[in-house]
């Protein structure tokens, strides 16, 4: 196990009706910026309820609506400007990961003198942020309990993750009932997203028994409950299980001490940057292809352990067990969850940008589970087509 | 899943040499009370290193040595008095769970006008505490990352747990190397302790997939690494796995949302209160007896699931699978880990106090996995003899 720091200060209120804790936001001051996406939170009644609670707590509300599924830097800039102009002292995101990501960088940019994009491409510039609060409405990214945000500049085909301890939310409200109305497509993509986070952390050479066994536990929860939520969207226990599993997939619990390098996310961010596709769908398409591409004698025992511990595969030969595990993963994502199985299914029909995408999705300096060259990435993208 | 609040603000520095972060204690002020047990931290060199780092950070150190394995209220009172007299502004525990528990109540009592025992028997009186820091030297109780402390008044045969959010440590340093010198007896007792915490959280009727799968993961880690640490005390990965698993067993990860009632701990606290035995040994003795005592048609599926998911038991009949799982548990604790198998082995040879102990170990108001009557508890104690 590598050395690590584990620090998850976010106060989580989990369960039915936990929005009642929203007035605690008043501890951060009397002005908040409410960040949200489209009209779904209005249709679901969360918007009205939140406004009433905030009013009762004496908090004045400013609004940043219209956050995009791949949140844009222009929206972040608008939010930061409003915070500075109105001397707002907290940011409240109501929505999914995109909304929370946007709110995080708004909160940081509000305390930064330069342009918000600086903070996206250089996380070291993030020295402080307004306190961030969230009410989660989609189980997927785990942004409600981590320090990371992903922001795009689609004009430049750029999509990057940035992170800082001060961007960890102060408080997040996780009410599974809010996810009852999440459509099938988003439920499936969210499940793929949280599974991918777990995979990215899990497939590491490092010995870290605790993290690996916990990751396997989370994967089992996702594999069991994803299909239930698809078939029976108002199943509370399934929605609750997905919601709590998605937070733990990325809050450090299964990653700290393992030094993961997140190769699939690096490639997917390029797909989204060039084609603005749904993040979870891109991850699902890439995952089995990546697994097959890197399968060899060194990686086989890791995929075999995954198959045995998560899928209950009994095959004793590592390579065979690994192949079965990958097949199970493929079948789960595309047959059971109904996710698009290749890039053509999400509208990407040619290789035009693959070279430049592979160039940009360059590996980090850390010791990877399987270091990918530019050629590897191009090949993975071609296989995914 | 029941509604719950999850909040673990403790900053964990995990790994070799992480004591270098100790100077961060200066953020809480320039005077700290160093709380420790016997001379083991001096022999291991941790004491000298800590003093040097504190001196370098400009922190004046006061000392409360001699904390007992079942920490006594008299020691807490002494520490609190010193804090008040010297206007100390933080408490640093170096040791295992007993030392950290003692430091927690010292920190709370330092900010309380009445007697420290009030805070042990009525946690609602704990309104504030000095910031608590810890350097962990034994993997067992998880006190380094939770809000709970157990304090005894052996003169009165009283041993009670108390808890408050403000008693969660601000920072804990977990260096597995410090546990290399923990003797076999304590390594085994510590493993039994962390397993018991996981069991207490795990055996709950509530549907909570995430918590159950994570608990099974932790149990697998303990069952794998406990024996390695016994045989090869300087095995870093085994010691690291036990250390990190023990923290997660009780920090809310596998308990919040499940409403556990901790029956085995309630009985064991009476054993320790009357006979001052080692906590982990008492838990080990009681665990399989409790499992056998409450095994019936309702509980069998839960023990069977435990057996299948943790011990890889393939038996399809629930009652048979449950019996196999309990037998595996018994054999692991007593044969593999070499723990004392009954109360006689720890010097308890008659039933004199069983009635009064059972009276005091009364069930809480929560809905228990299997509610124990006073008669049940007496019977469990007799079977453990």
Cα distance between residue A291 and residue A299, in whole Å? 9
Q: How many CB pairs under 8 A join A and B?
A: 121
Show the DSSP H helices in A61-166 as ranges. Answer: 73-86, 97-109, 116-121
- Residue B183 phi/psi, 5-degree rounding, is -65, 160
Strand partners, A16: none
> Choosing among B4, B6, B147, which should be mutated to test the A contact, i.e. which has the most A CBs within 10 A?
B6
Nearest chain A residue to B10 by CA distance is: A7
b/e map A98-134, b = 16+ CB within 10 Å: bbbbbbbbbbbbbbbeeebbebbeebeebeebbbbbb
Cα distance between residue A252 and residue A232, in whole Å? 30
Does residue B7 belong to the interface with chain A, where contact is any CB pair within 8 Å? yes
Nearest Cα of chain A lies from the Cα of B162 at a distance, in angstroms, of 21
Instruction: Give the number of other CB atoms < 10 A from CB of residue B232.
Output: 12
Provide DSSP, A274-292.
HH---HHHHHHHHHHHHHH
Nearest chain B residue to A2 by CA distance is: B15
Q: Residue A213: what pLDDT? A: 98
Q: Residue A39: what pLDDT? A: 83
Distance of CA B201 to the CA centre of its chain: 13
- From chain B, the residues in CB contact with A221 under 8 A are 209-210, 213
Nearest Cα of chain B lies from the Cα of A350 at a distance, in angstroms, of 41
Nearest chain A residue to B213 by CA distance is: A217
CB contact under 8 A, A6 and B17: no
Provide ipTM, 2 decimals: 0.96
Nearest chain A residue to B208 by CA distance is: A241
pLDDT averaged per 10 residues, chain A (length 385): 96 98 97 94 93 98 96 97 98 97 98 98 98 98 97 91 97 98 97 98 92 98 98 98 98 94 93 92 98 96 98 97 98 98 96 93 73 94 97
Does residue B14 belong to the interface with chain A, where contact is any CB pair within 8 Å? yes
* H or E element, residue B354: helix B354-360
Does residue A46 belong to the interface with chain B, where contact is any CB pair within 8 Å? no
Cα distance between residue B269 and residue A351, in whole Å? 67
Instruction: Give the number of other CB atoms < 10 A from CB of residue B86.
Output: 12
Does residue B225 belong to the interface with chain A, where contact is any CB pair within 8 Å? yes
Are B306 and B318 in contact by the 8 Å Cβ rule? The answer is no
Q: Which two tokens stand for residue A378?
A: 């191009």
Does residue A3 belong to the interface with chain B, where contact is any CB pair within 8 Å? yes
Does residue A173 belong to the interface with chain B, where contact is any CB pair within 8 Å? no
Instruction: Give all domains of chain B, ordered by start, each with its CATH number.
Output: 11-178 (3.40.50.1970), 182-384 (1.20.1090.10)
Nearest to B5 among A9, A13, A213 (CB): A13
CB contact under 8 A, A7 and B12: yes
Nearest Cα of chain A lies from the Cα of B385 at a distance, in angstroms, of 35
Residue bearing tokens 């600086």: A118
Does residue A121 belong to the interface with chain B, where contact is any CB pair within 8 Å? no
Nearest chain A residue to B206 by CA distance is: A237
Cα distance between residue A241 and residue A214, in whole Å? 14
For the four alpha carbons of A358, A363, A369 and A371, in that order, the dihedral sign comes to positive
Q: Residue A363: what pLDDT? A: 63
Relative to beta strand A4-14, strand B4-14 is antiparallel
pLDDT tens readout for residues A68-82: 998 999 999 999 999
CB contact under 8 A, A240 and B5: no
> Choosing among B244, B253, B306, B312, which should be mutated to test the A contact, i.e. which has the most A CBs within 10 A?
B244
CB contact under 8 A, B237 and A16: no
Q: Which residues contact B295 (CB under 8 A, 6 or more apart)?
A: B303, B319, B322, B323, B326
Q: Which two tokens stand for residue B287?
A: 């665990």
Cα distance between residue B167 and residue A274, in whole Å? 50
Phi-psi region of A14 (alpha: psi -120 to 50; beta: other; left: phi over 0): beta
CB contact under 8 A, A210 and B244: yes
- Residue B22 phi/psi, 5-degree rounding, is -55, -35
* H or E element, residue B64: strand B60-64
Nearest Cα of chain A lies from the Cα of B384 at a distance, in angstroms, of 32
Q: Residue B368: what pLDDT? A: 81
pLDDT tens readout for residues A124-162: 999 999 999 999 999 999 999 999 999 999 889 898 999
Task: Give me the long-range contacts of B182-188 (CB less than 8 A, separation at least 24).
Answer: B182/B137, B182/B138, B182/B139, B182/B233, B184/B230, B184/B233, B184/B338, B185/B278, B186/B138, B186/B140, B186/B278, B186/B280, B187/B226, B187/B229, B187/B230, B187/B233, B188/B226, B188/B230, B188/B280, B188/B284, B188/B337, B188/B338, B188/B339
CB contact under 8 A, B3 and A9: no
Are A30 and A59 in contact by the 8 Å Cβ rule? The answer is yes
Q: Residue B366: what pLDDT? A: 63
For each of chain B's 385 residues, which pLDDT tens digit applies? 999 999 999 999 999 999 999 999 999 999 999 999 988 899 889 999 999 999 999 999 999 999 999 899 999 999 999 999 999 999 999 999 999 999 999 999 999 999 999 999 999 999 999 999 999 999 999 999 999 999 999 889 898 999 999 999 999 999 999 999 999 999 999 999 999 999 999 999 888 999 999 999 999 999 999 999 999 999 999 999 999 999 999 999 999 999 888 999 999 999 988 998 999 999 999 999 999 999 999 999 999 999 999 999 999 999 999 999 999 999 999 999 999 999 999 999 999 999 999 998 876 656 788 899 999 999 999 999 9
Q: Which residues contact B190 (CB under 8 A, 6 or more apart)?
A: B96, B138, B139, B140, B182, B242, B246, B280
Nearest chain B residue to A21 by CA distance is: B5
Nearest chain A residue to B224 by CA distance is: A209
Angle between helices B236-248 and A209-231 (to 10 degrees): 40
**For residue B294, what are the CA distances in angstroms to A223, B203, B269, B289, B377?**
32, 11, 20, 9, 11
Does residue A244 belong to the interface with chain B, where contact is any CB pair within 8 Å? yes
Q: Residue A174: what pLDDT? A: 98
Instruction: Let me know the angle formed at the C-alpha of A273 by A271 and A277, rounded to the nearest 5 degrees.
Output: 55
Does residue A17 belong to the interface with chain B, where contact is any CB pair within 8 Å? yes
């Amino acid at each position: 196990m590598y050395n690590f720091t584990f620090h998850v200060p976010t106060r989580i209120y989990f369960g039915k009706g936990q929005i009642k804790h929203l007035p605690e936001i008043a501890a951060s001051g009397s002005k908040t910026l409410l960040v949200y996406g489209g009209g779904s939170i209005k249709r679901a009644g969360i918007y009205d309820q939140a406004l009433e609670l905030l009013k009762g707590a004496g908090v004045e509300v400013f609004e940043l609506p219209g956050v995009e599924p791949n949140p844009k830097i222009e929206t972040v800039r608008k939010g930061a400007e409003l915070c500075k102009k109105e001397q707002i002292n907290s940011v409240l995101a109501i929505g999914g990961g995109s909304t929370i990501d946007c709110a995080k960088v708004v909160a940081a940019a509000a305390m930064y003198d330069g342009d918000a994009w600086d903070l996206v491409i250089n996380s070291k510039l993030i020295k402080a942020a307004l306190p961030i609060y969230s009410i989660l409405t989609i189980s997927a990214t785990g942004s409600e309990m981590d320090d990371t945000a992903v922001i795009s500049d689609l004009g430049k085909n750029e999509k990057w993750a940035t992170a800082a301890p001060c961007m960890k939310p102060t408080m997040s409200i996780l009410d599974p009932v809010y996810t009852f109305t999440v459509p099938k497509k988003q439920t499936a993509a969210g499940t793929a997203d949280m599974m991918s986070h777990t995979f990215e952390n899990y497939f590491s050479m490092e010995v870290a028994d605790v993290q690996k066994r916990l990751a396997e536990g989370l994967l089992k929860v996702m594999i069991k409950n994803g299909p239930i939520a698809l078939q029976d969207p108002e199943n509370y226990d399934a929605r609750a299980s997905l919601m709590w599993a998605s937070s733990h997939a990325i809050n450090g619990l299964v990653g700290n001490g393992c030094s993961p390098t997140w190769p699939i996310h690096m490639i997917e961010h390029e797909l989204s940057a060039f084609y603005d596709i749904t993040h979870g769908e891109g991850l699902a398409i890439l995952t089995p292809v990546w697994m097959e591409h890197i399968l060899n004698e060194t990686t086989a025992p890791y995929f075999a352990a995954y198959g045995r511990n998560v899928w209950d595969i009994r095959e004793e030969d590592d390579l065979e067990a690994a192949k079965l595990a990958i097949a199970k993963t493929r079948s789960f994502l595309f047959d059971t969850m109904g996710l698009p199985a290749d890039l053509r299914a999400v509208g990407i029909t040619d290789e035009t940008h693959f070279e430049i995408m592979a160039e940009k999705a360059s590996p980090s300096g850390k010791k990877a589970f399987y270091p990918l060259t530019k050629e590897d990435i191009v090949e993975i993208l071609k296989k995914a087509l």
